């Protein structure tokens, strides 16, 4: 029997039994293929008019052990892995089977079992599919087999056949690589669950190439995405411009997301979402250099730009509202005659005119409607992972939200804050929380005026924040301050008192806390602390 005259065989095993199963089975059946399937899938396809034979009967047996063993057999493995030779075909015929040419497999939903509340070792073991992943692996190893385990691959296969099967070897090996990747992910779910922290694994898929890495010579560079359900994951943002962006641009967008979601969570907690303000943030090289909140979108954009008109040049902006024509103009022109250069703008949506104006200025544009409906649940829930030489550092993501009702907040001066000052202190906490440590952040009248980030000493943070504020033309007097940790000495507090700030929030835990408190009290500054173990800010980057 020649290869052309032999009836081709497809094997199906699907847990979800989505429409793609019928679509592919019907497509093959109409082209003369023999269709095999595991018990439930077999009944499903037969019921929908596709003549299908049970794989257990085809290999000469029945499903056993409560359907736990269906396709696992010497005959099944041989049919899936046999080479394309006359000798192999003869051997298969002696075994009572023939070569399986295509496998479609969607294993049991192990992901949901692992993530289920109250998941146990036994519940995960019960959900662990053995035959499905084994079948996928066998087909991926088999010579010239098609193995499909994703819905989108069904349409890709059908289109490939209808287009005349171009470059078949490349097409098959791409499917095989995908199949083995999916098996790796599947098996790791069980290992990670049962290992209880002993193992770590992460899997990601190529999304797009980057223009270059952190620096020009660092090529190639790329963005990869995990299978997260997070609607704010970077790969779920829609590019409205074609120009590729680099590594630093992506990290700036990621930092903006951390700042934006922390701000939204903070305002949601304090105002129950009823007064969610317009939020605008600008980031340059990983740290906020402009930030504002306002009941007006225009004012939020203007204050964000005004925060540090020099630093925002070439920065990336993110807002939680639509960018219309007028707002696009403000971003480019506010506060100066010549058009401003921004690297990119990220928003829930853009008007056509805004896209044209910003694109003409060379901005990359990214849109995600989820930015318009942020709340206290929008902060990153997944653990933070950082590659280091030879491995990874893993920690929980930062979930701290400043709440003035926390009984552990201590006022060391007895001075009351106005409503505006309290909101500004909340906002300062957001910015400080998502900046590189060590950081001291100054906020006034709903906007960031100075951010002293990444310094090796606390007094240096204070001096830098004040200098940047004054360089940008701001009056530091009566601003509020957030320090991302405690003051180890009195020098930093002295700098802030001399500058005329009105309120400071820091952590406690220094052996000189009493002396620091005295400096602020004598200077007439409202000083608040939370224990270092609760409120010490750790960057999520």
Tens of pLDDT, residue by residue over 393-436, are: 998 888 888 888 889 999 998 888 999 999 999 999 999 999 99
pLDDT band, residue 125 (cuts 50/70/90): very high
Across residues 97-102, what is the average pLDDT?
Answer: 93
Across residues 110-128, what is the average pLDDT?
Answer: 94
pTM, two decimals, is 0.89
Judge whether residue 477 has pLDDT over 90: yes
Q: What is the b/e burial string over 234-244, where b = at least 16 CB atoms within 10 angstroms of the residue's CB?
A: beebeebbeee
pLDDT band, residue 3 (cuts 50/70/90): low
Q: How far is CA 220 from CA 216, 243, 478, in A?
A: 10, 16, 49
Q: How far is CA 147 from CA 30, 104, 188, 205, in A?
A: 19, 6, 20, 18
Judge whether residue 292 has pLDDT over 80: yes
Across residues 329-358, what is the average pLDDT?
Answer: 94
Cα–Cα dist 97/89, whole Å: 9
Share of the chain above pLDDT 70, in %: 96
Contact criterion met (CB below 8 Å) for 15 and 106 = yes
Question: Which residue's entry shows tokens 């989820």?
Answer: 370
Cα–Cα dist 212/219, whole Å: 5
Short-list 358, 343, 352, 350, CA closest to 256: 343
Q: For 264-342, where are the E strands, in sequence order?
A: 278-284, 287-294, 316-319
Query: To the nearest whole number, what is the mean pLDDT of the chain?
Result: 92
Judge whether residue 123 has pLDDT over 70: yes
pLDDT band, residue 540 (cuts 50/70/90): very low
Short-list 316, 340, 21, CA closest to 149: 21
pLDDT tens-digit readout, 136-195: 999 999 888 999 999 899 999 999 999 999 999 999 999 999 999 999 999 999 999 999
What residue ranges define each of the domains in the chain, with the CATH number in brackets?
A: 9-195 (3.40.50.1380), 245-373 (3.40.140.20), 408-535 (3.40.140.20)
Q: Give phi and psi for 196, each to the nearest 5.
A: 50, 50
Question: Which residue's entry shows tokens 């098609």?
Answer: 146
Judge whether residue 77 has pLDDT over 90: no
Judge whether residue 272 has pLDDT over 80: no
pLDDT band, residue 59 (cuts 50/70/90): confident
pLDDT for the residue 541: 42
Residues in the chain: 541
pLDDT tens-digit readout, 303-318: 999 999 999 999 999 9
* Secondary structure of 43-99 as H, E, C letters: HHHHHCCCCCEEHHHHCCCCCECCCCECCCCHHHHHHHHCCCCHHHHHHHHHCCCCC
Cα–Cα dist 132/154, whole Å: 17
Task: Give Cα 397 distance to the centre of its chain.
Answer: 12
Judge whether residue 454 has pLDDT over 50: yes
> Is 385 or 279 the better-scoring residue by pLDDT?
279
Torsion of CA 505, 510, 515, 518, to 10 degrees: 20
């Amino acid at each position: 029997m020649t290869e052309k005259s032999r009836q081709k065989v497809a094997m199906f095993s699907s847990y979800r039994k989505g429409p793609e199963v019928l679509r592919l089975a019907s497509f093959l059946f109409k082209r003369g293929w023999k269709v095999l399937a595991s018990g439930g899938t077999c009944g499903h396809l037969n019921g929908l008019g596709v003549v299908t034979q049970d794989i257990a009967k085809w290999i000469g047996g029945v499903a056993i052990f409560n359907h736990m063993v269906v396709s696992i057999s010497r005959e099944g493995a041989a049919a899936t892995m046999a080479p394309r030779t006359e000798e192999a075909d003869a051997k298969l015929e002696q075994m009572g089977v023939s070569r399986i040419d295509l496998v479609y497999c969607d294993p049991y939903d192990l992901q949901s079992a692992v993530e289920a509340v109250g998941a146990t070792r036994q519940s995960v073991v019960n959900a662990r599919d053995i035959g499905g992943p084994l079948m996928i692996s066998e087909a991926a190893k088999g010579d010239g087999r098609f193995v499909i385990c994703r819905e989108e691959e069904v349409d890709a296969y059908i289109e490939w056949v209808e287009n005349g099967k171009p470059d078949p070897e490349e097409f098959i090996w791409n499917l095989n690589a995908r199949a083995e990747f999916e098996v790796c992910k599947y098996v790791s779910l069980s290992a990670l669950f049962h290992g209880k922290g002993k193992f770590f694994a992460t899997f990601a898929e190529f999304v797009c190439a980057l223009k270059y890495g952190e620096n020009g010579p660092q090529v190639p560079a790329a963005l990869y995405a995990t299978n997260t359900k997070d609607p704010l994951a970077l790969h779920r943002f829609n590019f409205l411009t074609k120009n590729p962006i680099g590594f630093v641009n992506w990290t700036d967008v990621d930092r903006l997301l951390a700042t934006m979601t922390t701000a939204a969570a903070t305002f949601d907690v304090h105002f129950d979402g009823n007064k969610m303000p317009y939020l605008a943030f600008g980031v340059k090289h990983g740290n906020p250099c402009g930030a504002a909140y306002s009941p007006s979108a225009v004012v939020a954009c203007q204050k964000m730009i005004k925060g540090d008109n020099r630093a925002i040049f070439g920065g990336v902006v993110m807002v939680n509202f639509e960018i219309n024509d007028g707002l696009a103009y403000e971003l480019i022109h506010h506060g100066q005659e010549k058009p401003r250069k921004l690297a990119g703008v990220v928003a829930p949506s853009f008007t056509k005119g805004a896209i044209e104006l910003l694109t003409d200025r060379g901005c990359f544009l990214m849109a995600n409607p989820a930015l318009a409906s942020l709340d206290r649940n929008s902060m990153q829930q997944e653990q933070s992972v950082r590659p280091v030489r030879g491995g990874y550092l893993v920690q929980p993501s930062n979930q701290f939200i400043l709440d003035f009702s926390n009984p552990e907040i201590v006022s060391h001066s007895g001075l009351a804050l106005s409503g505006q000052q309290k909101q500004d202190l909340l906002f300062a906490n957001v910015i400080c929380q998502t900046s590189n440590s060590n950081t001291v952040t100054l906020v006034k009248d709903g906007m960031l005026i100075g951010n002293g980030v990444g310094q090796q000493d606390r007094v240096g943070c204070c001096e830098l924040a004040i200098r940047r504020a004054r360089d940008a033309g701001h009056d530091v007097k009566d601003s509020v301050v957030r320090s991302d940790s405690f003051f180890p000495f009195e020098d930093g507090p002295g700098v802030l008192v001399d500058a005329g700030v009105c309120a400071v929030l820091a952590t406690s835990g220094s052996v000189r806390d009493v002396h620091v408190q005295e400096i602020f009290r004598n200077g007439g500054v409202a000083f608040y602390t939370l224990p270092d173990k609760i409120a010490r800010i750790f960057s999520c980057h």
